[in-house]
Structure 1
Amino acid sequence: MLPTLLDIEASGFGRGSYPIEVGLARPDGSSCAFLIQPLPEWTHWDPKAELLHGISRARLRREGYPVRQVAQWLNDELSEAGICYSDSWGYDNTWLSLLFHHAGMLPAFRLEALRRLLSERQVALWTRTKETLIEELGIHRHRAGEDARLLQLTYRRTRELAGEA
């Protein structure tokens, strides 16, 4: 069974940044993502981050879901599993905490570092395997759902290559 992977895209990378998209790759291999409407006090915007993910503030206002709705969706999706993993735990955990704080809710799951699941052999194979999958599958990077799915596929392929599957 594959682990549940979570990825978050944000308004930037430093102080004042906030989540703008959250995506999941589920154990069955399906993935999904939701854009998040920025709160009025969330004003930080890094044009360099927008160049990476390609999501504008106008699009977030138009197509994004309210913070509380996204937090509730995450709890509904992840409460049974109880745990999900991220390759950028430091950033993603900060943004996830911000999301739940502003939603006035507590997460019903735990976010852990993906590294905890990887053997040393998988770590050694990770970067090359991920780059190969991006090329093979034509994955669009820096969108939360696609990135979560890419991490999950990389996890599976590195286990196979390491003879651990």
Structure 2
Amino acid sequence: MTPPIILDIEASGFGVGSYPIEIGYADASGATWSAQVQPQADWLHWDHQAEKLHQQSRQELVQHGQTPHAIATYLNLTFTGQTLYTDGWYQDFVWLHSLYEAAGMNPSFKLEDLSVLLTTEQQSVWHDTKQSIRDTFALPEHRAAMDAKVLQLTWLRTIDLTPALVD
């Protein structure tokens, strides 16, 4: 079974004025990719608690981040016409929109909430399975590509609980 493509976005904080600082994904083959986002001049909100979680300073992003245009172009070329899934649809949609607005572009793919793919059985074991995967593989939290990978591995491990469809 082909797993869903998972997109994750880390941000400068939560709430009004926050913006994407890192975007990452796990593709259908399981490969991961991420990019730090170079803040725009009018992206001013910075939450020091978020910085502690992400271990990425604003100065590091200014110096080493890729431009929104470069990231948006890459994502569009990679995922044209496809659906990507996220576990934080509302916030990730807002942050993705901020990235594409700064790039002067529109996404060529659809972003959907991962929950639409989950059965009741998957939902009932999701949290414990996700924590088990984090513990087993010692994957860091609050880094976009690794968070996407954990979600994809959790989906794969829980999909076995989905009853086969009967015609």
Q: Please, what TM-score do these two structures have when normalized by structure 2?
A: 0.95
Q: Which residue of 2 aligns with 1:11?
A: 12
Q: Give the match for residue 44 of structure 1.
A: 45
SS in structure 1 at match of 2:35: strand
Distance in structure 2 (CA, Å) of the matches to 1:76 and 1:24: 14
Q: How many residues align?
A: 163
Q: 2:62 — aligned with what?
A: 61
CA distance in 2, matches of 1:75, 1:89: 18
CA shift, 1:62, in A, is: 1.4
Correspondence 1:14-163 to 2 at 5 A? 14-80=15-81, 82-160=82-160, 162-163=161-162
User: Does structure 1 conserve the Cα–Cα contact (< 8 Å) formed by 2:100 and 2:106?
Assistant: yes
Superposed displacement of residue 51, structure 1 = 1.1
Per the TM alignment, residue 63 of structure 1 is displaced from its structure 2 partner at its CA by 1.1
Unaligned runs of at least 5 residues, structure 2: none
Question: Offset at 1:76?
Answer: 1.2
Distance 1:92 1:78 in 2: 16
1: CA distance, partners of 2:6 / 2:162: 22
CA distance in 2, matches of 1:10, 1:59: 14
Measured in 2, the distance between the counterparts of 1:30 and 1:104 equals 28
Q: Identity across aligned pairs (percent)? A: 42
Q: CA 1:32–1:39 in 2, change beyond 3 Å: closer, same or farther?
A: same
Q: Which amino acid in 2 is paired with 1:145?
A: A
- The two structures have a TM-score, normalised by structure 1, of 0.96
